[in-house]
Amino acid sequence: MSISFNDIPSNIRVPLCYIEFDNSNAVQGLAEVEYKVLVLEQMLSTGTATAAVPVRVLSADHAKSLFGQGSMLAEMFDYEKDANKYMETWAIPLEDAEAGVAASGQRDFYVAWIPSQFSRELVLKHHYSHRIVNNSYCHLGVFYRQNLAGVLVFGYALNPRAVGKIVPDTSVGEYMELNRMWLSDVAPRNSESRAISYSIKYIKRACPTVAWIQSFADERCGRLGVVYQASNFLYCGSHWTSFYYLDGEYFHEMLLTTSKKGRSKILIDNKDRAIPLRFRQFRYVYFIKKHWQKRLALKTHLTPSRRAWSRMKE
């Protein structure tokens, strides 16, 4: 079998090893992929870049000049360029929304708004109840060292009609209920009370009509409300709530009357073998607008301790 060469003559008779490289077919197939990174985040007015216009970022120092020292976008490039110094990187800087509300807290620990769907996914995955509250509308993420480490969910009361019995003459939009809270174990000590404190400051700016917040600690889960006590909530007593235990899950008694779908249907169809149980729920109230406290229709009490509550149950 003869082999043809482009540069080596076929009539050479001198013994030697002749090598020729033919790269005519070397560029066939898919072209090499050029990877790029695009980052979108907020800039400061001190930056030289133009908002909403893509700009290439060469280094972390370049990012500080473009987007302003201390801006969220510049801080993101501190991490990005440290992890990947050579990949081509672009940014689209965004101006601060005039109607937006800034995060509340400190640089390494703060709360900020997060999308409701993302919040619900976190609650379903990590909260001890693994249940969402459909009437929630204020979803705040807890961020620790630039990582999402928790979520607090606020909304309407489970029974909005009963709100007037707590603080009379309260209208919709003048109160909130903290109905779900989860923090990762990675968060430092006392993170729950810090997260609540920063959330209240956020709500005070974002929802100025809200005058008070209530939440409950659930005896069923071994909670007495120590976090709310540390956050200066008023303890307004406890009440009994009925549950049903069925096949490893707890069902609130309200599911017997709310509908005949989903979990309600499961409980209704199996009520004859469901185990009825009663647990205490401890009510806590915090007044953002302090002058509203005189409207409180419930008596306040000394906060319960675990030892005192154990004696009460006995």
Residue 36 vs residue 158, higher pLDDT: 36
Q: At what angle do helices 60-67 and 72-83 cross, to 10 degrees?
A: 170
Average pLDDT, integer, range 97-105: 74
CA angle 91, 93, 98 (to 5 degrees): 160
Q: Is the same domain home to 265 and 230?
A: yes
Is residue 311 scored above 60 in pLDDT? no
Q: Is the same domain home to 52 and 112?
A: no
- Does the residue 198 lie in any domain? yes
β-strands 249-252, 275-287 pairing: unpaired
Q: Is the same domain home to 89 and 108?
A: no
pLDDT one-digit tens code per residue, 256-279: 887 778 888 888 899 999 999 998
Is residue 194 scored above 60 in pLDDT? yes
What residue has token string 């779900």?
A: 180
Query: Of 285, 305, 309, whose CA–CA distance to 295 is shortest?
Result: 285
Q: Is the same domain home to 89 and 117?
A: no
Domain of 77 in residue numbering reads as 36-94
Q: Is the same domain home to 223 and 267?
A: yes
Q: Is the same domain home to 205 and 187?
A: yes
**Which of 76, 94, 112 is the C-terminal boundary of a domain?**
94
Query: Percent of the chain at pLDDT above 70?
Result: 91
Average pLDDT, integer, range 282-298: 96
- Does the residue 1 lie in any domain? no
**Which of 94, 116, 141 is the C-terminal boundary of a domain?**
94
Q: How many domains does the chain have?
A: 2
Query: Residue 182's domain is classified under what CATH number?
Result: 3.40.630.30
Residue 189 vs residue 11, higher pLDDT: 189
Q: Is the same domain home to 225 and 90?
A: no
- Return the pLDDT at 314: 44
- Does the residue 147 lie in any domain? yes
Q: Is the same domain home to 177 and 283?
A: yes
**The dihedral sign for the CA sequence 177, 106, 190, 182:** positive
Give the span between the Cα atoms of 176 and 155, in whole angstroms. 5
Give the span between the Cα atoms of 19 and 231, in whole angstroms. 81
- Does the residue 30 lie in any domain? no
Which 8-state DSSP code applies to residue 12? -
| Per-residue tokens: 64 | 């500080």
| 7-11, 160-164, 174-178: segment of lowest average pLDDT | 7-11
**Which of 69, 94, 119 is the C-terminal boundary of a domain?**
94
**Which amino acid is present at 221?**
C
In terms of Cβ atoms closer than 10 Å to its own Cβ (0-12, 13-18, 19+), residue 55 is: middle
Is residue 307 scored above 80 in pLDDT? no
Q: Is the same domain home to 242 and 167?
A: yes
- pTM for the whole structure: 0.66
Q: Is the same domain home to 152 and 257?
A: yes
Q: Is 56 helix (H, G, I), strand (E, B) or coil?
A: strand
- Does the residue 13 lie in any domain? no
Q: How many CA atoms lie within 13 A of 42 on its CB side?
A: 13
- Does the residue 28 lie in any domain? no
- Does the residue 138 lie in any domain? yes
Contact partners, residue 87, CB within 8 Å, separation at least 6: 35, 36, 37
Mean pLDDT is highest, among 68-77, 97-106, 251-260, 264-273, for 264-273
| Per-residue tokens: 146 | 């630039």
pLDDT one-digit tens code per residue, 9-29: 777 777 888 788 777 766 566
Q: Is the same domain home to 158 and 253?
A: yes
- Does the residue 25 lie in any domain? no
- Return the pLDDT at 48: 92
Q: Is the same domain home to 50 and 128?
A: no
pLDDT band at 89 (very low <50, low <70, confident <90, very high): very high
